[in-house]
A = this chain, B = another copy of it.
Amino acid sequence: MNTPLLADTATPSFSPLYQQIKTLILQSLQAGEWKPGEPIPSEMDLAARFRVSQGTVRKAIDELAAENLVVRRQGKGTFVATHAEQHVQYRFLKLVPDSGDTATEGPAERTIVDCRRLRASADVARALALRSGDAVLQVRRVLAYRGVPTILEDLWLPGLPFKGLTAERLRASRGPMYAMFETEFGVRMVRAEEKIRAVLPDTEQAALLAVDAATPLLSVERLAHTYHDTPMELRRGLYRTDTHHYRNELG
Looking across the interface, which residue of chain B has its beta carbon closest to that of A217? B198
* In the bound complex, CA of A191 to CA of B251 (Å): 5
* In the bound complex, CA of A251 to CA of B68 (Å): 7
> Which of B191, B197, B245 is the one whose CB lies under 8 Å from A245?
B197
- Count residues of A near B (Cβ-Cβ below 8 Å): 30
In the complex with contacts A199-B198, A217-B216, A193-B249 CB distance below 8 A:
yes
Is A247 part of the binding interface, using a Cβ–Cβ cutoff of 8 Å? yes
Number of copies: 2
Indicate the member of A68, A222, A245 with the most B CB atoms within 10 Å. Answer: A245
Question: Could you say which residues of chain B place their CB within 8 Å of the CB of A193?
Answer: 247-250
* In the bound complex, CA of A146 to CA of B10 (Å): 44
A196/B248 in contact, CB under 8 A: yes
Shortest CB-to-CB span from A248 to chain B, Å, is 5
* In the bound complex, CA of A120 to CA of B194 (Å): 35
> Which of B92, B192, B198, B247 is the one whose CB lies under 8 Å from A241?
B198
Question: Could you say which residues of chain B place their CB within 8 Å of the CB of A222?
Answer: 250
* In the bound complex, CA of A247 to CA of B67 (Å): 19
Shortest CB-to-CB span from A245 to chain B, Å, is 4
* In the bound complex, CA of A247 to CA of B197 (Å): 9
Looking across the interface, which residue of chain B has its beta carbon closest to that of A244? B197
On A, residues with C-beta under 8 Å from B are 67-68, 91-92, 94, 191-200, 214, 216-219, 222, 239, 241, 245-251
